[in-house]
Structure 1
Amino acid sequence: MSGQKNAPLNVAIYCRVGFSEYALEIQKQRAAAVIREHDDWNLATTYTDLGTGPQFNRRPSFKMMMADCRKGLIDKILVRSISTLARDTWSCMKVLRELSALGVTIRFVDENVDTETDSQWMEFLNFYSALSAIWREEIGAAETSDIVPALQ
């Protein structure tokens, strides 16, 4: 053994919230705590999109993060939840495949899923996304059933 240590991983935090500064701070704190658990992880930067909605083209920090990944500046990304990254399976898989091709891994803190260490992350993501879609439809139906009678 040469005694040389591997270079620390450059880890980025990606946060996205509607409008709550409090929720944003909680996301940052939780991700920073995960980084502190790993001696070989270095916080490279934090990317934050506030009030941008789910579409990637409306998220300037997401676009900057992807550009930095393409430049080789980021090794791993921490995200609070799969739904923070993307709300639909297709968009999420597209991003994850590009990151994988770039050698960048991603860890979803709430779900405790890491594309580096979890061999079945794609299957989990598909299952989770399907459940999320059903949940959003149920919430939308419940909201509509409450709103429509009030408008009549």
Structure 2
Amino acid sequence: MTRTDEILSLYRQKKWMIATAESCTAGMVAVAITDVAGSSDVFERGFVTYTNNAKIEMLGVQADTLAKDGAVSEAVVEQMARGALAASEAHVAVSISGIAGPGGSEFKPEGRVCFGLATPSGCESETIEFGALGRAGVREAARDHALDLLIKAARRV
């Protein structure tokens, strides 16, 4: 069973809907889910918020958080996930912001990706260092990790 098939099965059983808030993956999680016929049973909507302004306008991310912590931070992905949940009829929202590359900085290296997961009961975040896998590799790894987070969220409850 693929990740997507498992997500569809779990979320259909729970009658839950998903929202995504993506930056560095630019909709890859949404595409992975919606590539399967019938995914409208579980996929409510997706937000591609590549710029800071989009994060602010579409998801309610605070400008001072972006200024203080930067777009690639757990504080920002938590606000992204909460914002996606609030702006949708979803039960679970996953968010992603990272440095896909090429390049990065001493403080935020290529392959660093932050993830947020929001449900009505709260929000959690984590940072994964995928390393310099190349732009496509980082984005694919981030997509797959976000799908795994959606699976774990459904299995927990």
Q: For the superposition of Structure 1 and Structure 2, which TM-score range results when normalised by the shorter chain?
A: 0.3 to 0.5
Give TM-score, length-normalised by structure 1: 0.36
- More RCO (CA 8 Å, sep 6+): 2
Give TM-score, length-normalised by structure 2: 0.36
If each structure's helix is expressed as a fraction of its own residues, which one has the higher value? 1
- Looking at CA atoms only, which structure, 1 or 2, has the larger radius of gyration? 1
